[in-house]
Amino acid sequence: MYNIVKVPDIGEEELEIIEILVKIGDHISKDQGLITIEGEKTSIEIPSKYNGIIKKIFVNVGDKIKTNSEILLLDVNSKEDKNITYTKNYDIKKNKEENFDKKQIYATPMIRRLARKNNINLYDVKSTGLKGRISKKDFENYLKNNERNNLKQNKINSTEKKFNFEKFGNVKKTFLNKIQKVTSRNLEESWSTIPHVTQFDKVDITKLEKFRKNVNLCICLDEKSKLKVTLLPFIVKAIGLALEKFPNFNSSYNQIENVLFLKKYFNIGIVVNSEDGIFIPVIKDVINKSIIDIAEDILVLSEKTRSKNLNINDLNGGNFTISNLGSYGGSYFTPIINHPEVAILGISRYVNENILVNEKLCSRIVMPLSLSYDHRVINGVEAVSFMNFIITKLEKFHKFIIE
């Protein structure tokens, strides 16, 4: 029996195939990866739902696909036989030939759209990314006719290849996985193209922490509930309200077109560390959700990350990102903006400090905050005001909980 394997629900947008992981004649098993698709911020493997033998592949590297697009034809009844001779060698050769030219150009959907709009042949753009990938920086350098940056990058790459660490002792070589490659590329592009400034501050969460513990005591009365409210839902809610009040923080800047996109929706991404790398699942519509609603969303997304069940819809649409290192330690740090966003908030471990309250020295629970922002879009006064707003909301939490 033959089955046509299709793309599962990945939302409404079209995504690009950056890698085909199988070939015609392969014996594959259920949950084995078939193709890798890429959005603006991450790449995801599409797995097979069946065991079987691949008879035909309908897609190529560089193709745009969407939900229910056909990927390949699978014979789910055939048993593995080393003596089987396949008659699809022509298809294999054709697939490789069709892929060959497209493999010369690796670029995100955004870069390809800009290239079409500006009538630019991407073959003419010098690339510096992994596998010859054209980064946003490469594209901007081409538009500016700035060859110096490309030559400098090529010089750096050639120098790195000359390093011989083995002469100093034993060395173990490891390679980044797909998620780590995408993450490293995005971080490099963000750091090299966005002028980062970081504002540091701290918030007194003594009353909020006491309230949070009482909330969890009430939740524990329900034996079926897995929910545990952390400080994170309160921070998410406070940021959602801050984004509404300070619209520049809820924007994206297109440097090529010199346009600022002010968004009217409020979605916040949470950095989650996993054994495969960093993911940033997105909590949608935080402005209209309660603290409990947000806590439940965080629980669901965390479980999906651990079980490797995140989909593109879970990862797309973020306006602002939170990087929470509170459970790991440390104090202040400089988080890197999650492009195309313009700001990110870093949270560190809270500590007990002696501070003045009504002219009296008191022991209070204080949490460090680190706000990095794009200085092209946001100035220092705005950043301080944004941070002060969040601090006020967290210190006077009872007001915005009622709101």
Give the pairing of strands 52-57 and 70-75.
Answer: antiparallel
Using one digit for the tens of pLDDT, what is the confidence trace for 340-359?
Answer: 999 999 999 999 998 888 88
pLDDT at 154: 57
Q: How confident is the model at residue 158 (pLDDT cuts 50, 70, 90)?
A: low
- Max mean pLDDT among 177-191, 262-276, 350-364 falls in 262-276
* Higher pLDDT, residue 290 or 107: 290
pLDDT at 202: 96
Indicate whether 52 pLDDT > 80: yes
Pick the CATH number of 2-103 from 2.40.50.100, 3.90.700.10, 3.40.50.10490, 2.60.120.460: 2.40.50.100
Q: How confident is the model at residue 330 (pLDDT cuts 50, 70, 90)?
A: confident
Comparing 55-69, 139-153, 276-290, 292-306, the range with the smallest average pLDDT is 139-153
Q: Stretch 79-83: mean pLDDT, rounded?
A: 44
pLDDT at 394: 95
Domain over 106-180 is classified CATH 3.40.50.970: no
Active-site annotation, residues: 375
> How many Å is the maximal CA-CA distance in the chain?
87
Task: Kindly report the average pLDDT of the chain as a whole number.
Answer: 82
What angle in degrees, to the nearest 10, is found between the helix axes of 291-306 and 232-245? Answer: 110
Using one digit for the tens of pLDDT, what is the confidence trace for 358-382?
Answer: 888 889 999 999 999 999 999 999 9
pLDDT at 135: 79
Helix (H) or strand (E) holding 397: helix 397-402
Using one digit for the tens of pLDDT, what is the confidence trace for 98-122?
Answer: 333 444 467 766 677 677 667 787 7
Indicate whether 231 pLDDT > 50: yes
Q: How confident is the model at residue 152 (pLDDT cuts 50, 70, 90)?
A: low
Domain over 196-402 is classified CATH 3.30.559.10: yes
Alpha carbons 55 and 29: distance in angstroms, whole number: 14
Indicate whether 336 pLDDT > 80: yes
Comparing 63-67, 108-112, 174-178, the range with the smallest average pLDDT is 108-112
Asked if 197 and 375 touch (Cβ cutoff 8 Å), the reply is: yes
Percent of the chain residues topping a pLDDT of 70: 82
pLDDT at 71: 93
Q: Shortest CA distance to 107 belongs to which of 95, 120, 94?
A: 120
Give Cα 224 to chain centroid, integer Å: 32
Indicate whether 391 pLDDT > 90: yes
Indicate whether 255 pLDDT > 50: yes
pTM of the model: 0.66
pLDDT at 312: 85
Comparing 91-100, 125-134, 254-263, 379-388, the range with the smallest average pLDDT is 91-100
The pair of structure tokens assigned to 299 is 């629980």
**Comparing 2-103 with 196-402, is the CATH topology the same?**
no
Q: How confident is the model at residue 396 (pLDDT cuts 50, 70, 90)?
A: confident
pLDDT at 161: 57
Phi-psi region of 169 (alpha: psi -120 to 50; beta: other; left: phi over 0): left
pLDDT at 374: 96
pLDDT at 265: 96
pLDDT at 40: 64
pLDDT at 327: 86
Burial class of residue 112 in the structure, from the number of CB atoms within 10 Å of its CB (0-12 exposed, 13-18 middle, 19+ buried): middle
pLDDT at 352: 92
Q: How confident is the model at residue 145 (pLDDT cuts 50, 70, 90)?
A: low
Domain range annotation of the chain = 2-103, 106-180, 196-402
* Higher pLDDT, residue 77 or 238: 238
Encoded amino acid at 116, one letter: R
How many CB atoms neighbour CB 228 within 10 A?
13
* Higher pLDDT, residue 6 or 165: 6
